[in-house]
Amino acid sequence: MDMFLQQAINLLQLGSIYALLAIGFSIVYGIVRLVNFAHGDIFMVATYTFFFISTWLLSVTNSLFVVLFISLVLVAVVISFLAVGIERVAYKPLRSAPKVSVVVTSLAVGLLLQHLVLQFIGPTPHRVPRLVPDIKYQIGNVNIELYQIVIIAVALFIMLLLSLFIMKTKTGIAMRAAAQDATAASLMGISNDFIISIAFVVGATVASIGAGLYGMAYPIFDPYIGSMINWWSFTAAVLGGIGDFKGAVLGGFLLAAVMVITPIVLPVSSYRDIVAFGILILILLIKPSGLLGKKSLQKV
């Protein structure tokens, strides 16, 4: 029982991070119909930005939670500007181009970000500073770290805010309308350019917060971290149904369950990658649109 509870905490921690990253991936796809393979490297840049900002703030104040909050906010602002700039320069001119051109461009943008970091910062791994007090809570034989509670609480709070933003605000309703039918939305006076920019801002903000939370749990990172994050966030989004908010959350926690449970059941931890992609293939064979995805109707 204790082991089950311990793994449940680990699952919630990892699932919260994967869910945030999958949401960022899914929102951009839902609005622009773009599989943004630069998402992982935007996450990587956010991780470096979080590292530099938090390190600087720690030299100014010793209040860890203040540093954490300000770092998350500043990183979200910086990465949002970066994401909108990428969309305007690299993606906007290709909106009427074949989809393969846009996908190749997103791969190129990701590689460009990675090599820029390698060139100007270098390949040496860095360590995110500890921004949460080293406090443990013990329930029976189950140890719960304070940083795990913070990660889960912040991630769930951001998911709730995003859900309210999408469902209740005028901008959120406009985003849902554009995702359903961009042409009809534009005829109703909704600016597609504005909605696309908002989608990239939301995706970048979620990726930035995910980067900060990921750094709290797994503090060692390097310029290649984006490649791994890219595939896992993409897998989580596709599992749940890419373009669907609830599907992204479900896919994130399902992927985390595979990551946490597989090493317990199977003798080699590397099998978790095989199991994860095997489950992805199985689900797509049964339901090609993902668990909560809906079939898109094509007009003829």
- Mean pLDDT along residues 29-44: 90
Number of domains forming the structure of the chain: 1
Q: Is 62 exposed, middle or buried (0-12, 13-18, 19+ CB in 10 A)?
A: exposed
The CA distance from 146 to 131, in Å, is: 11
Is residue 36, in this structure, part of any structural domain at all? yes
The pLDDT, as a whole number, for residue 164 is 94
Is residue 296, in this structure, part of any structural domain at all? no
Is residue 254, in this structure, part of any structural domain at all? yes
Is residue 297, in this structure, part of any structural domain at all? no
Is residue 69, in this structure, part of any structural domain at all? yes
- Mean pLDDT (the chain) is 90
The pLDDT, as a whole number, for residue 174 is 92
Residue 32 has pLDDT above 60, yes or no: yes
Is residue 292, in this structure, part of any structural domain at all? no
State pLDDT tens for residues 132-146.
Answer: 998 988 887 788 999
- Mean pLDDT along residues 50-55: 96
The pLDDT, as a whole number, for residue 125 is 95
The pLDDT, as a whole number, for residue 171 is 93
Percentage of residues in the chain with pLDDT exceeding 90? 62
The secondary structure of 59-95 as a DSSP string is TT---HHHHHHHHHHHHHHHHHHHHHHHIIIIIGGGT
The pLDDT, as a whole number, for residue 266 is 77
Q: What is the CATH number of the domain that holds 242?
A: 1.10.3470
Out of 5-14, 73-82, 160-169, 215-224, least confident range: 5-14
Range of the domain at 198: 2-286
Q: Which band of pLDDT confidence, cut at 50, 70 and 90, is reported for residue 268?
A: low
Is residue 145, in this structure, part of any structural domain at all? yes
State pLDDT tens for residues 216-239.
Answer: 999 999 999 998 899 899 999 999
Q: Which band of pLDDT confidence, cut at 50, 70 and 90, is reported for residue 296?
A: low
Task: Write down the pTM of the prediction.
Answer: 0.92
Listed residue (4, 241, 279) closest to 271, CA to CA: 279
Task: Please state the φ and ψ torsions of residue 122, each to the nearest 5 degrees.
Answer: 100, 165
Is residue 200, in this structure, part of any structural domain at all? yes
Residue 299 has pLDDT above 50, yes or no: no
Residue 300 has pLDDT above 60, yes or no: no
